[in-house]
Amino acid sequence: MGKPTGFLDYPQRRNTAEDPRTRTGHYREFHLPLSAEERRRQAGRCMECGVPFCQSGAAIGGMTSGCPLHNLTPEWNDLLYHGSLRHALSRLLKTNNFPEFTGRVCPALCEAACTCSLHGDAVTVRENELGIIEDAWAAGLVRPDPPSVSTGKKVAVVGSGPAGLACADQLRSRGHAVTVFEREDRPGGLLMYGIPNMKLEKSVVARRIALMEQEGVVFRCGCDVGRTVTASSLREEFDAVVLCCGASRPRDLDVPGRELAGVFFAVDFLKETTRALLNGALDTETYPSARGKHVVVVGGGDTGNDCVATCLRHGCAGVLQLELAPRLPDGRTAENPWPQWPRVCKTDYGQEEAIARFGADPRRYQTTVAELLGDGGTLRAVRTVNVASDGTPIPGTEETLPCELLLIAAGFLGAESYVPDAFGVSLDARRRVETGAAGYASAVPGVFAAGDMRRGQSLVVWAIQEGRAAAACVDEYLMGYTNL
């Protein structure tokens, strides 16, 4: 450990954030890093707890507590405190291929499990992680490291989200020739087109893609496997195929008026905003724009919050976020026991910005859509209704609200069918690719699956873990053993 009394001597400090009233005027990341000395002190708060729950990744009460990647947090915090950036980087990259992604977008299950948080403030694990990797990039310590020996084996990875990237990165480090197929015009999957720029600037994704290309990973964009590229051609050309296509089948609304113009799935809305931003076309409004509109977001999760933040940057006239679940108290209460982070009610950056702009939290709890109302085929209003704890509508609670743009952020219902169908692999009842118990191989020899496509909708950190584990499974299939 760095400093035995650090958690007592130093108060928790986080990266400062730009004022919510001003940051909605741009799409850049809005957190400013701490000074090197303050970051060192924050690393010194990591205490010598007997069992470091932060790296456990254990299931407690049906939820994950601690890092699914089993990051060696106490080790690199100690090295960071002692000023050994090179060694801290080595320990960080041993378990996490992309700490610049998780350091920005992960909900920090590690911090929720931190022993310090039982009676005080957790160690700023995620921000220390981000500090290490960004300082390493700046110092030129993150360099291409292509394998010195080739195995002669070829692997196709379908999908370039976090699972596909992690799988490709691991397999290339082993010496396999890896080609990643992506149906969009840019690689990165949800990192590129699902997570807004404010949380993850796309230059960060492009930087990592460029590094992987220098190490020998080949990216082929605009290739829709199962449609424009046949499964049979991949089976013939490659020794193994890994399906990392995500859980991209959105849950829809089954209400009167669903066909009205002005209703979009959240992921499509976010993707087109990012595409316009990257193409320098934000002023053209050829994408679904919230400018001057009253917006209703259906869904209270991370994606719904991202929609709120994006609509504010568009210049919406107002925004509400409907949440089926009841409101939980903020902070640690009997209903929110340590370390069950998913049970804690959080006010995220989009909600903070809505409060600053409109003076009230945009969330309405235990509320859902009953009907969409239109004029001339275009959405003009939404009728909402309150629901009981079991989801039953409560008569007499209906309310009609102005709404010219409705965004559905109600989660996903598993993988799209056409890729699994093309390869002849099966989906289970939740539309996840069926693999062996705790394994990644499908019933079709040489075809594997990882990420949300196998696990179901989840976090970036879980996708990276899935990609790494699948790579080891593929490597063993190809070589008869694995050292990944």
Say which residues have a Cβ less than 8 Å from residue 416's Cβ, sequence separation at least 6. Answer: 245, 248, 249
Res 336: pLDDT: 46
Cα–Cα nearest to 160, from 246, 74, 84:
246
* Secondary structure of the chain as H, E, C letters: CCCCCHHHHCCCCCCEECCHHHHCCCCCCCEECCCHHHHHHHHHCCCCCCCCHHHCCEEECCEEECCCCCCCHHHHHHHHHCCCHHHHHHHHHCCCCCHHHHHHHCCCHHHHHCHHHHCCCCCCHHHHHHHHHHHHHHCCCCCCCCCCCCCCCEEEEECCCHHHHHHHHHHHHHCCEEEEEECCCCCCCHHHHCCCCCCCCHHHHHHHHHHHHHCCCEEEECCCECCCECHHHHHHHCCEEEECCCCCCECCCCCCCCCCECEEEHHHHHHHHHHHHHCCCCCCCCCCCCCCCEEEEECCCHHHHHHHHHHHHHCCCEEEEEECCCCCCECCCCCCCCCCHHHCECCCHHHHHHHHHHCCCCEEECEEEEEEEEECCEEEEEEEEEECCCCCECCCCCEEEECCEEEECCCECCCCCHHHHHHCCCECCCCCECCCCCCCECCCCCEEECCHHHHCCCCHHHHHHHHHHHHHHHHHHHHCCCCC
Q: Residue 410 in contact with residue 258, Cβ under 8 Å? A: no
Res 331: pLDDT: 44
Res 333: pLDDT: 41
Structural domains present in the chain: 6-138 (1.10.1060.10), 154-248+413-479 (3.50.50.60), 263-408 (3.50.50.60)
Q: What is the pLDDT along the chain (484 residues), one digit of tens a residue?
A: 678 889 889 999 999 999 999 999 999 999 999 999 999 999 999 987 888 899 998 887 777 889 999 999 999 999 999 999 999 999 999 999 999 999 999 989 899 889 888 888 999 999 999 999 999 999 999 999 999 999 999 999 999 999 999 999 999 999 999 999 999 999 999 999 999 999 999 999 999 999 999 999 999 999 999 999 999 999 999 999 999 999 999 999 999 999 999 999 999 999 999 999 999 998 887 899 999 999 999 998 899 999 999 999 999 999 999 998 887 655 444 444 555 555 667 789 999 999 999 999 999 999 999 999 999 999 999 999 999 988 899 999 999 999 999 999 999 999 999 999 999 999 999 899 999 776 899 999 999 999 999 999 999 999 999 999 999 999 999 999 999 9
C-alpha 288/C-alpha 268 separation (Å) is 9
pTM of the model: 0.94
Q: Residue 374 in contact with residue 393, Cβ under 8 Å? A: no
Q: Residue 130 in contact with residue 110, Cβ under 8 Å? A: no
C-alpha 104/C-alpha 126 separation (Å) is 8
C-alpha 171/C-alpha 175 separation (Å) is 7
Res 334: pLDDT: 41
Res 343: pLDDT: 62
Pairing of strands 31-32, 63-65: unpaired
